[in-house]
Amino acid sequence: MITMKNIFILFFFTCSISALQAQYTTPSLVENTAIPKYNWLKTEGKKAIPAFSLSFIAGTAWGLHEAINYRKDVFFKRFPGANRQYFDPAISWENKYMRPGVPVQLTDAKHLSFAINNIALSGAISAATVYCTVPIVRPKQGRKWWHIPARMLIQSAAVSAGYAAGNWLTFSQFFHP
């Protein structure tokens, strides 16, 4: 049975595995088929995978948040066995008062998806920022001046594209009325 928990786990592990694969793949182990002039673009694109993956998770979480709020009928049609006390914002707000010792982010799906969105997006932006500031802190000889702005542009595009893709797939495709 497909549940939202299983879908989140699938997205999280898929993106995590791709991010780890990109992190530990070294250029010496990969056959270089790119034009030598554009080798830096190939490696920069691979290093944008963690930021893309985390922002994809954030976009997916926000798409679920919006679907729960604005397309409840489609959500409950797609998941007929979903617990309304947890997934329906009209009544799930009562959960935080029924369970006073539990953090609010865990009391209903609306707050949990919002928290996952914030955590994953913060992680994506942090990963992109750290990766972009490393060449400024530790400059290399022979690096062209435009590699740093290009790196920033690639990381920004990866974060934006990942977020937009996750949100679009969840809200506009999976929960389409």
pLDDT tens, position by position, 85-143: 999 999 988 888 887 888 888 889 999 999 999 999 999 999 988 888 877 777 777 77
pTM of the model: 0.75
Nearest 5°: the CA angle 6, 8, 12 is 120
Does residue 26 have a pLDDT over 50? no
C-beta neighbour count of 63 within 10 angstroms? 24
